[in-house]
Structure 1
Amino acid sequence: MLKQIILSSTLALSLAACTTVPSAEVTRFHTGNPARTGTIAIEEMPGNPDISLEFRTYAAAVGQQLQQVGFSPVTGNASDYVARVAFSRSFRPTGNGYNDKPVSVGVGGAVGSGGYSGLGLGVGINLSGKPKDIVTTEMQVQIRKRSDSTAIWEGRAYTQAREGSPAAQPAAAAQKLAAALIGGYPGESGRTITVK
């Protein structure tokens, strides 16, 4: 019975670990009460470090979220506001070199009461392969008035996930970051929060 309880608990923890959704760290800045309605065009931020076709994925995610908080996304130069979007993805290796070895061997010995002794040899094989890198995805959004380019709101967010996991895919990361960043717009200015 105890064995079944331990097995059930271990399985539940394993499943919970597999379904863990990474959180996002979010910081927003604004003064007063920024606009909540009007037409808005989504543009790539000048100097975006990761210029690519992938931008459309991030722009679409930001546009969806802006629409949910009251803006009307449009194309062209006739909008009331401009949302400038930048994003980047970086990869950080995991592991320290010591635990990455595919095979480990351990030897142990003991002397028990009554003069009995024992010697044990254990071999561990790591079948998981090389540890996956950690992917960090960052997004920055600025909302500016079209008329004079005054910034009325700015935010940045980042999230991390293991390479190859669903959460590390660009589309999933874009949706996660846009929802975390723009959800609850305008948010508390100058405070960093964690969004699950």
Structure 2
Amino acid sequence: MTLPRPAFRLPAALALASALALSACATTPYTGPVEVTRFVAASPAGLGQGTIAVAFPDTVSNLAARAAFAQAVSAELARLGYTVVPEGTPASQTATIRTTRGPIAAAPVDRRGPVNVGVGGSTGGYGSGLGMGVGINLGGGRESPEALTTLEVRIARSGGETLWEGRSQIATGVKSPYSQTETSARTLAAGLFKDFPGGNGETVTLDAKKLQGQ
């Protein structure tokens, strides 16, 4: 009698090697924390109340990015208690918005320690040609940080006196959902105005994912 031939099975060691090879090819999207720094005037009376208009002192050629950041900041200002009026409308206060996205370059490798990353060169505004795709490879199967997106807001009275200003920034890889303009705008604005007005001169680090649910 001829016994039936057993079904072919991939040897366990070979199967494990194949799985490891596939996992090595995949990369985990890089999303850094949101770093926030804020400054508060000695006499900040009026913060969080009255009318306020948003303004962009610098030209933002990427209109989609401009709209995303204007909407994100306006939503946070309204949550704080402000009455947000259309841009260009007279108001008791003005929120001046600046936003940039620039490439991150790898710092020189120290053989005694891990690879460091930092902002390389100048930072370009949206639409300047700088942005995602200026890649570096830190290895290890994890996507490297590719770009640093920054949001700066300055709140001043109509006479020009600064009441508050802050900056939030996040480093992301090209595959991170937080590299998308609308997502990064909402996340950076949420971090910037969390626990408003914050401590004068303080710098805090926040989890980007937790800010999305705020």
- TM-score tier by shorter-chain length is 0.5 to 0.7
Aligned to 1:164: 175
Identity of aligned residues (%): 28
Counterpart mapping for 1:11-22 below 5 A: 22=32
Check conservation: 1:93, 1:132, Cα contact below 8 A.
no
Once superposed, what is the RMSD of the aligned Cα atoms?
2.9
Query: Unpaired segments of 5 or more residues in structure 1?
Result: 1-16, 97-125
Query: Unpaired segments of 5 or more residues in structure 2?
Result: 1-26, 109-138, 208-214
SS at match of 1:78: coil
One of 42, 45, 51 as aligned partner of 1:32: 42
Greater per-residue strand proportion: 1
CA drift of 1:21 comes to 5.5
Out of 158-167 and 135-144, give the one that drifted further. 158-167
| Residue identity opposite 1:139 in structure 2 | L
Check conservation: 2:31, 2:176, Cα contact below 8 A.
no
Once the two structures are superposed, what CA deviation does each residue of 1:92-140 show, in whole Å capped at 9, x if it has no partner? 25699xxxxxxxxxxxxxxxxxxxxxxxxxxxxx9x8xx6651210010
Aligned to 1:192: 203
TM-score between the two structures when normalised by the length of structure 1 = 0.66
Counterpart mapping for 1:73-152 below 5 A: 73-75=84-86, 76-92=88-104, 134-146=146-158, 148-152=159-163
| Residue identity opposite 1:25 in structure 2 | E
| Residue identity opposite 1:40 in structure 2 | I
Aligned to 1:56: 67
SS at match of 1:32: coil
CA drift of 1:33 comes to 5.3
1:141 & 1:95 partners in 2: Cα distance? 29
| Residue identity opposite 1:89 in structure 2 | R
CA drift of 1:150 comes to 0.8
Aligned to 2:192: 181
2:202 & 2:107 partners in 1: Cα distance? 32
How many positions carry a matched residue from both structures?
147
CA drift of 1:90 comes to 1.1
Aligned to 1:7: none
Larger Rg: 1
Check conservation: 2:96, 2:153, Cα contact below 8 A.
yes
| Residue identity opposite 1:192 in structure 2 | T
TM-score between the two structures when normalised by the length of structure 2 = 0.61
